[in-house]
Amino acid sequence: MNTQTAVGRFGRFGGRYVPETLVPALMELEEAYTAARADPTFDAEVAQVLREFVGRPTTLTPARRLTEAWGGAHVWLKREDLAHTGAHKINNTVGQVLLARRMGKKRIIAETGAGQHGVATATACALFGLPCEVFMGALDVERQALNVFRMRALGAVVRPVESGSRTLKDAMNEAMRTWVSQVSDTHYVIGSAAGPHPYPTVVRDFQAIIGTELRTQAQAAFGKLPDAIVACVGGGSNAIGVLHPFIGDASVRLIGVEAGGHGLDSGQHGASLTLGTEGVLHGSRSLVLQDADGQIQEAHSISAGLDYPGVGPELAHLAKTGRMEVRTATDDEALAAFYEVARLEGILPALETSHAFARGKELARELGAGKYLVINCSGRGDKDVATISARGVPPAVGVKP
Amino acid sequence: MSGEIAKAFARAKARGEGALVAYGMAGDPDLPRSVDVFAAMVEGGADIIEVGVAFSDPIADGPVIQGAAERALKAGSTLKRVLDEVVPELRRRCPETPLVIMTYVNVIMAMGEERFAKLARERGVSGAILPDLPPEESGSLRATFDAAGVDLIPLCAPTTPQARAEAIAKDARGFVYCVSVAGVTGMRAQLPADLSQRLELVRKASLVPVVAGFGISTAEQARTLSAHADGVVVGSAIVRAAHSEGPQAARAMCAEIKRGLKR
């Protein structure tokens, strides 16, 4: 089902609010993308790379001990953490880099928050032999040392961005500013389902493989569609990817979980769907965290990937129309969920994903026994271990010290 | 449409000069002292003043103007305060010089398009430049501005195909702002070789004056370009001068560019 209401619009949201210099490039991208999608050889090539290199389809795993511990619905996990590079981000970068190559672009730039999108872009560039430059907030460079190393190891140049809050939004500003000066031979791989049209559509389509696989796997695993699907929401690429194929299925509850940070009343959070107002950021009209004068506010989350004051326009539309339910989880709740999942299921989820798990517990109870809840396990937590261990590790279970 | 902008270009032309459209950041280093900078720019020969209103996430700006925006925000600059405190004082001190607000679309949306247009017109603002609002997105806002008598000044880029550039020019209000380089604001040693040809094409299609901007910081560049345009925009060079040496440096920079614009 398509929620696009006009070209590049999702209800009131979306559009293309960029400097005139970029408008022709976005038109060219839109045209090239439309042509590529109409060409079966392109889809076949993307599918082949996803299968042979990324490791798709990712599995749908029953979380038996969480199901038992939470005492409610059957909990299943869609395992994007098992995709190559450790997160769903690779689905989109493989698609966009193949598209860029088709368009004859000579180099790739990208922005990254937690570094997963940067690693995924660097990986796709290494695979297809294109030079790659990744803009990353200087604060994120500090807190995501592992991913910075991975990008460099893959041959990418990491550019720390010192302006503003030194996080994802500033990295995106700098990537756009750079793109304006190099637009003729450079493709900008945006990692969130955000930015100017056609990016929200392009990213969503490449990520919709998550939900498309889930439809088939759910039927095979428990004989019906899930009763509810939960995903964390920063910019929203994993959320729109897993949820989009279910928009037309009224029986399926769609739930997005945002970063509650230090709490919604603390002023330090990343809850743009919950507390944002209509505005324009990074080329699209959506819900953004801003003050009364239209200045964008700094978001906060323990998770670098949810630390973004905007959200993709299609998710804003789904939230405003009520099709997607929006909840939040605080830093502390995400940390608690991280350990619960680690110790009950043997999975270290990314801090982003831990937000979805934090709300999964109450959703499982709300749904009740006999229902099926799928949590999108958007990425693995290796990159976050320094942040998490700095807070101290709880004692081992069931073993005397 | 406001007539002030057309008159300013006509006055410059009558004196045998290209027009200088000079940009400054309102609120840098603070609101009252930025008024002194703007007034000094007019004394130095600026024909039209672009009053920059800071935005936290300026995707079209280079480092000099980004830095100025950060300082202005720290000093408490907002669109409301610029309209309340900077614009009226500037109208009093330089009544002849048209003022154009330059900011990002989110700042206007936050105030409300209609409220901005009405307030701006009441206070004596002639136009607005919104670098992240291409023609496809500007329909309702432009109608509101037209009704209030505020010119929404469009931009044209080096990457804009000719037919699109002509359409932008034909439909323009105030003047057409031709971005000289594919890039952000800021000084450049070299301007593209085909710039003069592009300016002539836009000028042919346009019913309003055409100016070149982005990257211009010397009298020599101004002289070269003014042969093919009705004027030039200078921003970063003035902002940098004002930041390091105060209003007198901004005045000197304008006077220097103005020398290049004499025909």
d(CA B24, CA B167): 29
SS3 category, B169: helix
Q: Which residue of A has its CA nearest to B77?
A: A293
The ipTM, to two decimals, is 0.95
Q: Where do we find the tokens 């029953």?
A: A62
Q: Which residue of B has its CA nearest to A178?
A: B183
Token duo for residue A147: 């991913």
pLDDT at A172: 93
The reply to whether residue B106 touches residue A181, judged by beta carbons under 8 angstroms, is no
Please name which of B237, B57, B4 lies closest in space to residue A294, comparing C-alpha atoms. B57
d(CA A229, CA A324): 10
Instruction: Answer yes or no: are the C-beta atoms of B234 and B257 closer than 8 Å.
Output: yes
Q: Where do we find the tokens 């396990």?
A: A377
Alpha-carbon A363 to chain mean position: 21
B161 pLDDT band, cuts 50/70/90, is very high
- Residue A124 pLDDT > 80: yes
Summarised one tens digit per residue, pLDDT across range B193-213 is: 899 999 999 999 999 999 999
Residues B237, B241, B247, B248, CA torsion sign: negative
pLDDT at B176: 98
A242 pLDDT band, cuts 50/70/90, is very high
Instruction: Answer yes or no: are the C-beta atoms of A350 and A71 closer than 8 Å.
Output: no
Is A17 at the interface with chain B, CB within 8 A? Answer: yes
Q: Where do we find the tokens 């949590």?
A: A375
Is A282 at the interface with chain B, CB within 8 A? Answer: yes
The mean pLDDT value for A45-54 works out to 98
The reply to whether residue A21 touches residue B109, judged by beta carbons under 8 angstroms, is no
Q: Per residue, what are the HEC states of chain A?
A: CCCCCECCEECCEECCCCCHHHHHHHHHHHHHHHHHHHCHHHHHHHHHHHHHHHCCCCCEEECHHHHHHHCCCEEEEEEHHHCHHHECHHHHHHHHHHHHHHCCCCEEEEEECCCHHHHHHHHHHHHHCCCEEEEEEHHHHHHCHHHHHHHHHCCCEEEEECCCCCCHHHHHHHHHHHHHHCCCCEEEECCCCCCCCCHHHHHHHHHCHHHHHHHHHHHHHHCCCCCEEEEEECCCHHHHHHHHHHCCCCCCEEEEEEEEECCCCCCCCCCHHHHCEEEEECCEEEEECECCCCCECCCCCCCHHHCCCCCCHHHHHHHHCCCEEEEEEEHHHHHHHHHHHHHHHCCCECHHHHHHHHHHHHHHHHHCCCCEEEEEECEEHHHHHHHHHCCCCCCCCCCCC
A163 pLDDT band, cuts 50/70/90, is confident
Is A190 at the interface with chain B, CB within 8 A? Answer: no
A2 pLDDT band, cuts 50/70/90, is low
Instruction: Answer yes or no: are the C-beta atoms of A262 and A300 closer than 8 Å.
Output: yes
pLDDT at A397: 79
The mean pLDDT value for A299-320 works out to 95
SS3 category, B231: strand
d(CA B127, CA B166): 21
d(CA B101, CA B106): 14
Is B111 at the interface with chain A, CB within 8 A? Answer: yes
Please name which of B20, B16, B50, B48 lies closest in space to residue B232, comparing C-alpha atoms. B20
- Residue A198 pLDDT > 70: yes
d(CA B228, CA B115): 37
Q: What percent of chain B has pLDDT over 90?
A: 93
- Residue A234 pLDDT > 70: yes
Residue B56 Cα distances to B64, B104, B129, B184, angstroms:
14, 10, 17, 16
Summarised one tens digit per residue, pLDDT across range B16-70 is: 999 999 999 999 999 999 999 999 999 999 999 999 999 999 999 999 999 999 9
Residue A352 Cα distances to A212, A234, A264, A368, B45, angstroms:
22, 8, 17, 25, 55
Token duo for residue A391: 């807070």
Query: What DSSP state is assigned to residue B210?
Result: E
Is B215 at the interface with chain A, CB within 8 A? Answer: no
Task: Centre a 10 Å sphere on the Cβ of residue B85 and count the other Cβ atoms it contains.
Answer: 18
pLDDT at B102: 98
> A89, A105, A361, A383: which is the annotated catalytic residue?
A89
Query: What DSSP state is assigned to residue B263?
Result: -
Strands A74-79 and A60-62, by their bridges, are antiparallel
pLDDT at A400: 67
Nearest Cβ partner for A293 among B70, B78, B131 = B78
State the smallest CA–CA distance between residue A173 and chain B in angstroms.
5
Summarised one tens digit per residue, pLDDT across range B14-25 is: 999 999 999 999
User: Chain B, 231-250: which have a CB under 8 Å from a chain A CB?
Assistant: none
Alpha-carbon A76 to chain mean position: 19
pLDDT at B153: 98
A164 pLDDT band, cuts 50/70/90, is confident
Chain length of chain B: 263
Please name which of A197, A314, A185 lies closest in space to residue A256, comparing C-alpha atoms. A314
The mean pLDDT value for A246-263 works out to 98
Residues A93, A99, A102, A108, CA torsion sign: negative
Q: How far does chain A reach from its first CA to its final CA, in angstroms?
A: 55
